[in-house]
Amino acid sequence: MIKIKVYRKEDLITGFEMSGHAESGPYGYDLVCAGVSAISFGSVNAVTALCNIELDIEMNDDGGYLKVLLPKNISPDIKEKARLIFEAMIISLITIENDYKEFITIQDK
């Protein structure tokens, strides 16, 4: 199962952490894993490119762990842009969770 934790401060997303594997299909054909990966990596890439900031990213080699944190000292307008992108990411992930509860869970702290 993929477990996602969303970190917030004063109701604003400050980062997220994903761990585990969906195992909803054979390796290379796991649609839940593919969807979660595409949404999360696309969002991270969008924040990096559109906000022009370096995110604190930690991941392991087997693809079963990703942790992303926003830098602490960024301007309010950049923080708002990043927040909107990450909020859109969470909405997309919740859509997957609604249909595949046995393979993904989201905890919004």
Q: Which active-site residues does the annotation give? A: 21, 33
Structure tokens at 88: 């859109």
Q: What is the distance between the alpha carbons of residues 83 and 30, in angstroms, rounded to a whole number?
A: 29
Which strands sit side by side in the sheet containing 65-69, from one edge to the other? 56-59, 65-69, 12-19, 2-9, 104-108
